[in-house]
């Protein structure tokens, strides 16, 4: 029997962008004999590092507005059958599919549009694929 097991996709850069902790420096921490820094040295020494991702458009800051896990509703499908070009075509044509990535012959990722119900889209994909494979 052919089956697809669905798993919510996890962002490799981390899901919790807001949970990154940074050290804060107070003026009280510096003693009277501390070095005097110019503005540029202070900014480079005490500012937060910025995560970036490489894209065809160059380097883009990685934040809650550019994180793919915040923009897309990704799901990974694990199958016990080969993901042929015919199967990929069936998946792409299902309503609600914004994106399809084939990772291996048994694993793929879909992006489901925000206006669609996840479970309905996944059930539709499973149904259409089973129709094709059992025909």
Contact 109, 74 (CB under 8 A): yes
Question: What confidence tens digit (pLDDT) does each residue in 68-84 have?
Answer: 666 678 999 999 999 99
In the chain, where the domains are located: 72-133
In this prediction, residues 22-41 reach a mean pLDDT of 49
pTM for the full predicted model: 0.64
Under CATH, to which class is 72-133 assigned?
Answer: alpha beta
């Amino acid at each position: 029997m052919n089956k697809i097991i669905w798993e919510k996709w996890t962002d490799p850069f981390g899901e919790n962008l807001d949970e990154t902790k940074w050290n804060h420096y107070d003026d009280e921490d510096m003693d009277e004999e501390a070095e005097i820094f110019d503005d540029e040295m202070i900014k480079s020494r005490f500012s937060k590092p910025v995560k970036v991702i490489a894209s065809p458009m160059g380097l883009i800051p990685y934040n809650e507005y550019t994180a793919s896990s915040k923009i897309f509703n990704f799901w990974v499908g694990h199958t016990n059958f080969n993901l042929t070009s015919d199967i990929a075509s069936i998946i792409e044509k299902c309503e609600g599919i914004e994106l399809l990535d084939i990772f291996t012959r048994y694993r793929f990722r879909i992006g489901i549009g925000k206006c669609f119900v996840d479970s309905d889209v996944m059930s539709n994909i499973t149904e259409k694929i089973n129709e094709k494979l059992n025909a």
